[in-house]
Amino acid sequence: MSDDTMAPPTSPPDAAPDGLMRDRRSVLRCAAIAAMVGASAPILAACGGGDTPGATPTTGTSTGPTSAPTTGGSTGPSSAPPSSAAGGKVLGPVADIPVGGGKVFTDAKVVVTQPTAGQFKGFSAVCTHQGNPIGSVADGQIICPFHQSHFSITDGAPVSGPAQTALPAVNVAVNGTNVVQTA
């Protein structure tokens, strides 16, 4: 071999305009970090390592966040408000829970029923059959739409369907005009 084949190229094809190298490994590392953090394009641009002329590229260290930031969950029509009361986590207004029925609070994974006027019961909104989310409360029963398991609004016991185990009880109470989940 000649000495010419051993010499590094004078202008690498993957060199940044300012002459700094951006190898495949550093690009993939930055992309993986951005994916873990849930970041967008600005983070990827910062991973280029050397957008400032004369800067030295970094080698695998990061001063950014190490985990995704936590935010409040989405609040759809059947989800819990993210607020808390002195007596526990507010699920929703008492007025939203009809006598002889109930409401599923999706974000809290709780279903609250009112079997008789003024009597509120809380249950897990996760079906005991295969762990699917409870979908609704109708005709005095809590219903899982996936395999049609039905549970009693009074005690969470299975009424029909493949589920054989009652929904676990969840502590709820009335605090002013709201139903709250208590410890």
The predicted pLDDT at position 87 comes to 74
Nearest residue to 96 (alpha-carbon basis) of 74, 72, 107, 112: 112
- Whose structure tokens read 């005709």? 139
Average pLDDT, integer, range 20-37: 57
pTM of the model: 0.56
For residues 136 and 175, give the distance between their C-alpha atoms in angstroms, rounded to a whole number.
24
Per-residue pLDDT for 150 more than 80?
yes
Task: State the pLDDT confidence band at 115, using cuts at 50, 70 and 90.
Answer: very high
- Residue-wise pLDDT for 67-96, tens only, equals 333 333 333 333 334 455 567 899 999 999
